[in-house]
Chains A and B, each alone.
Chain A
Amino acid sequence: MTWLNLHPLTFLVFAPTLLGFVLMALPHSLGKLSRLLGFLGALAIFILSLAWLLGHAPAAGGAILAERAPWFTLVGLPVDYALAVDGLNLWLVLLTTFLVPLTMLGTWNSLKDRLGTFAALFLLLETGMLGALVAQDLFVFYLFWEAMLIPMYFMIGIWGGDERRYAANKFFLYTLSGSLLWLVALLYLANKAGGFNPAVMAQAASALPFGVQGWLFIAFAVAFAIKVPLFPLHTWLPDAHVQAPTAGSVILAGVLLKLGGYGFIRFAIPMFPQAAMHYAKPIALLSVIAIVYGALVAMVQRDIKKLVAYSSVSHMGFVMLGLASMTVIGTQGAMLQMLNHGISTGALFLLVGMLYDRAHTRMIADFGGVAVKMPIFTTFFMIVTLSSIGLPLTNGFVGEFWILNGTFLSGFPWGRLYAILATSGVVLGAVYMLWMFMRVFWGPENKDEDSGTHHLHSDLNAREIAVMLPIVILIVWMGVHPKTFVAASEAPVTALLQEIKAPAPQVFVLKPAVHEAPEIPVSGSPAPEGPAAHEVH
């Protein structure tokens, strides 16, 4: 047990891979056993992560758990095997370990063949995601970031829909293109800094001319923005989401996209603070475009899954807007919105998957009157829909509200305009989700022989309800008491933004009130303009 006490993170990160290789070696005929073993293993990882991460108080440096050891020195550049869980990644790590077993359970019967291989790839993917989240050395981060592509590629390509090969290749190459250019920037900076330690690299970056810093920031930002995905780099996402099997879509939306936002807050912004400030305005503009554009495109979709995919573009636009606001409340909102989106959109994909497994169609027009046939399903779908459109008392509201608040306070020349435009995205979100809900669930039952509704014979079973219940609990919990989920990141975010704004470039006039704002009443109905307007004037 001493090894485990010293290397808890190594165990959390690599145990799924070990199990994955065991499952891969099992013969095809034991597919069902492999699926069970994979689920139990992922569940054990979740329980362990809860016990270890929530049980430890943060140490002096802010890390809850940390490991650091020299790994190797390759032709002069040292690489540290440095892993840590701290306030910035704590909840994202837990979200990952939570979603993996949940998704396995939720898609238990969705796949018919090669169950063992699927479970194995899923576990390999978990290693990639957890490794990227906890890595504290940029080389290690890069390794996990790239390695993550491989299992996802096969998950989309083997078990996906009709266009799966195209979607898998597009996903792989698109993401790779960003990260390869980023690699060049990484190598450039590592040569200057003599290593891959983010702090040392940040120092080396600050000594470079501003133009070079800008290019390096762009290289980092593009790699992360592709993952987010930020308009106009989002075009891989609809294909990948729609073609991926349900489990792939859930994890893609739930965790992989978050890694883009996490990359910004963990690496791109702290390492190039000046460049980040400089490029915050264009990023905010692109985020606003993503919010409105994603919502408008989602509105006209005929495929429910594609609608949810475009809603992801819109929701992740909020995350980027919050990060670009460079205010504590906006950034905290972005952190929360990442978790929200992981839960709500993950749940939406699971629900769409459950519907598809029964009806074998996802076209909105094929449904109608589902509420009559599947009341329990309809209830869950309603709750998740409301959370997705940001109804107060659900998680979506708090994140979006904080982000809009932060944007309003950001001091951008057109910050308030951005906030107003982004708010229209919230309204549009309600339009496309509720319109879809109306067409699918309400109205007269679609009696057509070929229709989807006709093929719905059973409501959710106990397994599916067991999957949805924790999600509903989280939706309400995060909506009523978001502090549980953002308390950890408050100190590092505040410290980061103070450090960035210390030299105070002339463009930005700091509003002191900004730093006192994270506690926002969530119940009740504060109008967005209320407190914000007060502080600005």
Chain B
Amino acid sequence: MSLTPSQWAALLPLLIPVFGACVVIFMSLDRDQTTTKWIRGAMYGTALLAVAASFWYLTDLWKAGSQPAFFQLHMDRLAQFTGIFVMVAAALTILQSWDHFHQEGWVKGETLALLLFSAVGMMLFASTTHFVVLFLGLELFSIPLYALVGTVRARPESAEGGMKYFLTGAVASSSFLMGGVLIYGMSGTFDLAAAAATLKTQGLVLDPLVLVGAALMLLGFLFKVSAVPFHQWTPDAYEASPHPIAGFMSVATKGVAFIALLRVFPGSFAPMGAVGVKMQAVVAVLAVATLVLGNLTALVQSNVKRMLAYSSISHAGYLLLGFVAGTPAAYTGVLFYLVIYLAMNMGAFGLLTAFGLVGEHTTFEDLRGLGWKRPAMGFAAAVFMLSLAGIPPLGGFYGKYMIFRELVGTGHVGLAILGVIASLVSAYYYLRLLVALFLQAPSAEAERLASDRPAVHAPLAGAAVLVCAAIVLAGGFLQYALVDGFAKRALIEGLGLIR
């Protein structure tokens, strides 16, 4: 079978990382991988190269515009957007991993291969409306992540976190599968867009089985974005995983789950407006619960990673509010928010590596006074935290601005007020990190630890953090370029939501 250029175009961004992952696996067969520096360098180099090649190819495609679908694989603007998003996240993760795993003394090639496979699964997940491909993508990106959470086998908590994540994730996957099966059973087709059209013509839109099917699928998505009440795995999994992996999960998993949700619910299921309305009501309730619970629980955390986990839950709440508003402008806001969220959260987790916090030493106490010792990292930390809290003129403010504006515009003033109150609460725990970094002197314990440990040397993680800070700042001052040139075009030429 020979492929046309546009078919190659659909496949290559997926194939390049797969190829890279296979090469890395073969390299990691080397027994000396933990002792020989050059083989480690080669593994990381290969992985980075694969990601960069895929990224470069995707940006090229972006310039060319949407490609025709290849079987059930749509390489449209939204898929390209997702690809670029995931590749940037993966590249930042790889850079941070180099330093983090060296600090932990646990450099293994398989983590890189798993990461690349996961990235491929994410792209697959967000570029299809065919249920089987969707499910394949879901599993392809989830299973490597289960393994990655528990990758540092030397730490028992790590395995515990991985197991928790796996068990709950398996339940979510099976309900997602069950939902798809119900829709298939009622409509006779796996293509969700076609299924929706069929159900509409047959008048089966409000059939209980269809509703249950849609609700179960929604549950699968909500689990992946860690919305309340499907959020319990999040803090444990983040705490257990290596910092860069936690960052990758918080950003990429949430991001692609939102994009796929966008493709399926307002996208493919558009003909079933009545289902959409019912699901929107559910989403509104869950968004409120997510905001309240996520923010209030984040307030009392003493571990930075757990705080960031609850913060990531609460950000799922803001993003879900965008779905409640449900206008094209709100979805543009959601996509923009995801881009900024990628930078601020990868940056926040990158800080932990850049400051050289390993193992269990990730409490606010461990961060005391570090902002003055590493001023560039401290500055970046201020950028991330203030942006996460939504303080202008940083990128995070504009994401919230667009979502809240559409909420108010669609008459959900009460939800918007709740949203800003949630932001206010969140400002407190983000400030706590800045308090620890700048406003407190280092604790005696931290000083002792610092003198015991060799000086932190994390140039790659530091560079990754600075890149993230630059993106957040750019999001604050070039927001219109990012919105009009990137987020909006992904929507228009991906879903055709705005004309």
Contact = CB atoms under 8 A, between A and B. Distances in A.
B480 A191 contact: no
Given A75-B402, A146-B391, A158 B427 contact: no
A191 B405 contact: yes
A187 B329 contact: no
Contacts of B194: none
Interface residues of B, number: 38
Given A181-B417, A187-B416, A164 B439 contact: yes
Contact of B391 (A74, A150, A168, A187): A150
A74 B402 contact: yes
Nearest to B372: A114
Given A73-B480, A143-B393, A191 B428 contact: no
A147 interface: yes
B479 A75 contact: no
A460 interface: no
A501 B84 CA distance: 58
Contact of B329 (A75, A114, A184): A75
A466 B438 CA distance: 34
B440 interface: yes
A184 B391 contact: no
Interface stretch (B98-106, B152-160, B418-426): B418-426
Interface in B427-464: 427-428, 431, 434-435, 438-440
B424 A176 contact: yes
Nearest to A76: B329
A485 interface: no
A146 B392 contact: yes
Contacts of A181: 417, 420
B386 A184 contact: no
Nearest to B404: A187
B409 A74 contact: no
Interface string B461-499: 000000000000000000110010000100000000000
A444 B440 CA distance: 42
Interface majority SS (helix, strand, loop, mixed), chain A: helix
A77 B440 CA distance: 42
Nearest to A75: B329
B408 A74 contact: no
Contacts of B405: 75, 77, 187, 190-191
Question: Counting chain A CB atoms within 10 Å of each CB, which of B391, B416, B438 scores highest?
Answer: B391
Contacts of A180: 420-421, 423-424
Contacts of B438: 154, 157-158
A169 B299 CA distance: 14
Interface in A145-168: 146-147, 149-150, 153-154, 157-158, 164-165, 168
Contacts of A150: 382, 386, 391
Contact of B392 (A72, A143, A172, A173): A143
B67 interface: no
B388 to A, nearest CB: 14
Nearest to A114: B372
B332 interface: yes
Given A74-B479, A75-B332, A184-B420, A147 B392 contact: yes
Contacts of B393: 143, 146-147
Interface residues on A, range: 20 to 34
Contacts of B406: 75
A191 B404 CA distance: 11
B329 A168 contact: no
A191 B409 contact: yes
A188 interface: yes
B398 interface: yes
Contact of B413 (A75, A114, A177, A184): A184
Contacts of A177: 424
Contact of A173 (B332, B424, B439): B424
Interface string B318-357: 0000000000010011000000000000000000000000
B247 to A, nearest CB: 24
Contacts of B364: none
Given A149-B391, A169-B435, A183 B333 contact: no
A218 B216 CA distance: 44
B401 interface: yes
A108 interface: no
A424 B253 CA distance: 65
Contacts of B332: 75
Nearest to B483: A74
Contacts of A149: 391
A412 interface: no
Nearest to B390: A180
23 contacts: A72-B480, A73-B480, A74-B398, A74-B483, A76-B329, A142-B392, A143-B393, A146-B397, A147-B391, A147-B392, A149-B391, A150-B382, A154-B438, A157-B438, A172-B427, A173-B428, A180-B423, A181-B417, A183-B404, A184-B408, A184-B413, A187-B405, A190-B405
Given A169-B428, A177-B424, 15 more contacts: A74-B402, A75-B332, A75-B402, A150-B391, A153-B431, A164-B439, A165-B440, A168-B439, A173-B431, A176-B424, A180-B420, A181-B420, A183-B404, A184-B408, A187-B401
Q: Which 10 A-B pairs have the closest CB atoms?
A: A72-B480, A180-B420, A75-B329, A191-B409, A157-B439, A187-B408, A143-B392, A187-B405, A146-B392, A188-B408
